[in-house]
Structure 1
Amino acid sequence: MTSVQYDAVIVGAGFAGIGAAIQLKRMGYENFVILDREDDLGGTWYVNHYPGLAVDVPTTTYSYFFEPNPNWSRLFSTGTEIKQYADGVADKYDVRRHMRFRTVVQGARWDEEAQAWRVSVADGETLTARYLFTATGFLSQPRLPEIPGIETFDGRVLHTTAWDDSYDPTGERVGIIGTGATAVQLIPELAKKAADLTVYQRTPIWVAPKLDFRISERAKRLFARIPLTQRIVRAITDTIYEMMINVGVVHYRVPLFRRLNISAMDLCKINQFIQVRDKDLRRRLTPDYDIGCKRPTFSNSYFRTFTKPHVHLQSDGIDHVAADGIVNADGTKTVIDTLVLATGFDLWEANFPAIEVIGREGRNLGKWWRENRFQAYQGVSMPYFPNYLSLASPYAFLGLNFFNTMEYQMRLMDRLFGELQRRGATTFEVTEQANADYLDRMTELLGDSLWTLGNCASSRSYYFNPHGEPSLLRPMSTRDAITEASEFPLSDYQIS
């Protein structure tokens, strides 16, 4: 039997990978490695640094439960501050020394004889580990638009995940494709400098008013001296967000809750009406799907940007890209100098899973998901994949806040690995029956949700897999998810 190099390999050094590492250390594991293809930790908060980047969840809520940060400068903090928070947590909990950067993981295969995972990296090296965690996040594989001629464009092309910090749009004619949450932040910034900005919209987005403000130095000192005060603030913002998800989305079948969902759309329309008086422009900027079908966002400047004379909304479609610009569906051409791609991420084809994972009896995870529905017990485990937790899986994501997802996953790790240690065992695998029962329950719960009952057909939301199932999301409250992760029947796993 081949010796095992590591207790665990974690793929990904974003907040999920950092959280998994902290939990491993809490349970006494020190012999593990975190592999990441980038030059530094932070995941999406390292990769993304486009102008206007900020979190779209209040930063009072956007942090680990166990590690509040009293130093946020604003209610909706900048990407730079989020990255600094990641650095601080990694250093405080001594996980940076476990990280290997510029390491591209190609795949992992379960070795039945060795009862271990063989993890292959791009330089030809193979690592052996008892346990495997994929912490690759949901937003890690950029989506490039399939538009004829885009490769022949002679100007500059920038994807928001590969932003050139030296780029200055001053005086340029800029075209930007996409109007998702990233574009809502970026478009007002580009409009400040560009001579001409054309926004290519396929699907409008619901945008609510943004209640953002600077956090005073006095408040920061109070949070640092009396951490309970910050936890109280977090409890308030958490409750508001939980109510938004559970009342307006998860329990959509209840007539009163449907009314509240409509009220949220009315709020977004009021936000739009205040900033845009042109009736036709408002019509084109208004989604025809229910709020919550895809991720909404917040902004006080997005709609107003379209009222500027040098900013144009193109919502009739793109025919192709020419060498000097974009030819619209109606045959007209817009000449541009720089093309910005705010086209989001490829979740289902490139991210589930982000690497090739081969389990027992040669089962290929990606192939199995596509042929047998996307599924994962408690959002982390699949049968035939022993000693493996996938932290970015179907039915894993809780509402609007990734840290709530990470919190319940760390609780699950604590319960599962605690039982392994209690028994002196080294191997776990979810049973097929437990996995099947969980999938049935998720399907039943989603039957009451907006994603099933609402008008989502035109949303083009990454919440939905290629088969039309909203299987990205875990349809329950954070409290319920944490309770389940802390109390799930240990008999749901075969432990040996």
Structure 2
Amino acid sequence: MSTRNAGRRVRVAVVGAGFGGLGMAIALKRAGHHDFVVLDKAPEIGGVWRDNTYPGAACDVPASLYSYSFGPRYPWSRRYAPQPEILDYLRSCVETHGLGPHLRLGEEVTDAVFDDDRELWNLRTAAGETIEAEVFVAACGQLSRPVVPRIPGAERFAGRAFHSARWDHEHSLRGRRVAVVGTGASALQIVPAIADEVEHLTVFQRSAPHVVPKWDRALPAPRPPGRMRDLRHKAARLGWWLFNESLVSGLTRRWPTVALTRRGSDAQLSKQLTDPGLRARLRPATAVGCKRVGISSTYYPALQRDNVTLVTEPIEEMTETAIRTTDGTLHEVDTVVYATGFAATDFLGPLRVRGRGGADLARLWSEGARAHLGMTVPGFPNLFLVYGPHTNIGAGSAVYMIESQIRYIRAAVFELAKGTRAYLEVRPEVAEAFDAEMTRRTRRSVWATCTSWYRHPSGRVTNNWPGQTVEYRRRTARLNPADFRPALPRQRRP
């Protein structure tokens, strides 16, 4: 699927081949820019939809909204698309838009250094190669680095243990005693999918999530392409977008609209759980939305099965054959699945990025990532982030936000192509004003009320956009040259 680009110098280098990186590549190609490469450390495209192949993996946003606004139209089998279909959809996008020659898969970028003298980015790969690029687009995503908790004695465990994003498909769960550690979005899909296969399933819960019904259904066989099919797709996309937009203010401004989500969660909890004790342990203690709201109609019924146990006591240690909780109970297991999420606030993770004068981005972000409009950072010319800080959302489709960023970055590439600027570097005062706004607005949001993957250990809410997606689309619709420092090309400098 990948063809190596032999050139060392490109106009645009994109790191990451998930929704963000591929969408950026498609936008560049559709706009007539062909001098770019997309690099990814994995041998396959897909990002999170390549990595997360656990049983039951699916999107919790309707496929009509969780897809690019441009084609190809994909024949989704269900309203909430399963992982294999999403990955196949991305493959079809690669094929339709002829991205194959631009892909460099299996090549991990370890360092990105801005050359002050030549005003270029030097990207170094794990294999020792250097790629020069005028524009560096980091589309690494927020959910690409799994987190495994440090549990005393874990090294002694004699069974199999793996993270949900690194599922061991060679290890059959049939007839096994399995532990699922965590009750986030992945666990809500895994538990119902494996409950009838295992001998016994023990679910370790640190805090109970809010879970609302999943209005999933099989979709009719796709009709031949035509105007009516496109209109139906657009109507579904618009409807789900408006529905999610109506919920956002309940999270960002804590408006009464949050009551809709709370009622859905409470009603499902009361209707599906007949055991009062189990219901009490599954009643969330946190405000709706401060942690990611789960979407499932099968999770609660799975927990009521005779072969499923919910454990709410904290884990103390692991032995060779069991997990011990703080009440002294030994839970015998032979397989441990860590459904414990990702290092979401790390953003670029192990990729080392240095800007003008050797400025270290990791050091700059030591108290939490920050970037103007989630995309540009002072001191790092021609660096653009896709799905960076303050671009995740509490309700709706991340793909909608990603497309807003892609359009903005494409406009930046056009601006640079004029030849009137050596580079685009956001002015510090512009970035600082935006960061102050984000800090002020997120402090009054529901996300500031509890600890979650939305918050950096420093306490700052770094991941989420504190408004509706339409506001973000409006604010990124036009690149304002005045937001960037003057930078004349060398040939025009005095």
Q: With structure 1 as the length reference, what TM-score do the two structures score?
A: 0.93
Task: Deviation per CA, 1:346-403: give whole Å up to 9, x if none.
Answer: 1224x344411000111110110115x5310011000000011021321122444220
> Secondary structure, in 3 states, of the residue corresponding to 1:395?
coil
Q: Does 1:210 align with 2:214?
A: yes
Give the alignment partner of residue 466 of structure 2, picking from 475, 489, 493: 475
C-alpha distance in 2, partners of 1:422/1:115?
A: 16
Q: Which has the higher helix share?
A: 1
> Which amino acid in structure 1 is aligned with residue 163 of structure 2?
H
> Which amino acid in structure 2 is aligned with residue 417 of structure 1?
V
User: Judging changes above 3 Å, is the alpha-carbon distance between structure 1 residues 13 and 147 closer, same or farther for their aligned structure 2 residues?
Assistant: same
Residue aligning to 1:163: 167
C-alpha distance in 1, partners of 2:457/2:470?
A: 29
Residue aligning to 2:263: 266
Residue aligning to 2:253: 251
- Count of equivalent residues: 480
Give the alignment partner of residue 38 of structure 2, picking from 34, 39, 42: 34
Residue aligning to 1:391: 386
Q: With structure 2 as the length reference, what TM-score do the two structures score?
A: 0.93
Q: Does 1:25 align with 2:57?
A: no
Q: Does 1:53 align with 2:57?
A: yes
> Which amino acid in structure 1 is aligned with residue 359 of structure 2?
R
> Which amino acid in structure 2 is aligned with residue 75 of structure 1?
R
User: Judging changes above 3 Å, is the alpha-carbon distance between structure 1 residues 28 and 70 closer, same or farther for their aligned structure 2 residues?
Assistant: closer
Task: Deviation per CA, 1:219-268: give whole Å up to 9, x if none.
Answer: 644777541221111100111011112x311222xxxx23x313422321
> Which amino acid in structure 2 is aligned with residue 380 of structure 1?
M
Residue aligning to 2:47: 43
C-alpha distance in 1, partners of 2:237/2:376?
A: 30
Give the alignment partner of residue 152 of structure 1, picking from 147, 156, 169: 156
User: Judging changes above 3 Å, is the alpha-carbon distance between structure 1 residues 450 and 488 closer, same or farther for their aligned structure 2 residues?
Assistant: farther
Q: Is the 8 A contact 2:72 2:93 kept in 1?
A: no
Q: Does 1:299 align with 2:302?
A: no
Task: Deviation per CA, 1:13-52: give whole Å up to 9, x if none.
Answer: 1110001112222343222211111110011101111110
Residue aligning to 1:416: 412
Give the alignment partner of residue 74 of structure 1, picking from 53, 78, 86: 78
Q: Is the deviation greater in 322-331 or in 23-32?
A: 23-32
Gaps (5+ residues) in structure 1?
Answer: none
* 1:65-144 equivalences in 2 (<5 Å): 65-67=69-71, 69-144=73-148
Residue aligning to 2:359: 363
Q: Measure how far apart 1:329 and its partner are.
A: 1.0
State the Cα RMSD in Å: 1.8
C-alpha distance in 1, partners of 2:291/2:466?
A: 14
Residue aligning to 1:343: 340
Residue aligning to 1:450: 446
Q: Is the 8 A contact 1:136 1:354 kept in 2?
A: no
Q: Does 1:229 align with 2:232?
A: yes
> Which amino acid in structure 2 is aligned with residue 471 of structure 1?
T
C-alpha distance in 2, partners of 1:423/1:117?
A: 17
Q: Measure how far apart 1:152 and its partner are.
A: 1.4
Q: Is the 8 A contact 1:411 1:482 kept in 2?
A: no
C-alpha distance in 2, partners of 1:224/1:63?
A: 19
> Which amino acid in structure 1 is aligned with residue 477 of structure 2?
S
Task: Deviation per CA, 1:416-443: give whole Å up to 9, x if none.
Answer: 2222233543411111111111112222
Give the alignment partner of residue 324 of structure 1, picking from 321, 326, 341: 321
Q: Measure how far apart 1:146 and its partner are.
A: 0.7
Q: Measure how far apart 1:447 and its partner are.
A: 4.1
Q: Is the 8 A contact 1:50 1:163 kept in 2?
A: yes
Q: Is the 8 A contact 1:70 1:223 kept in 2?
A: no
Q: Does 1:282 align with 2:279?
A: yes
Residue aligning to 2:245: 242
Q: Is the 8 A contact 2:41 2:106 kept in 1?
A: yes
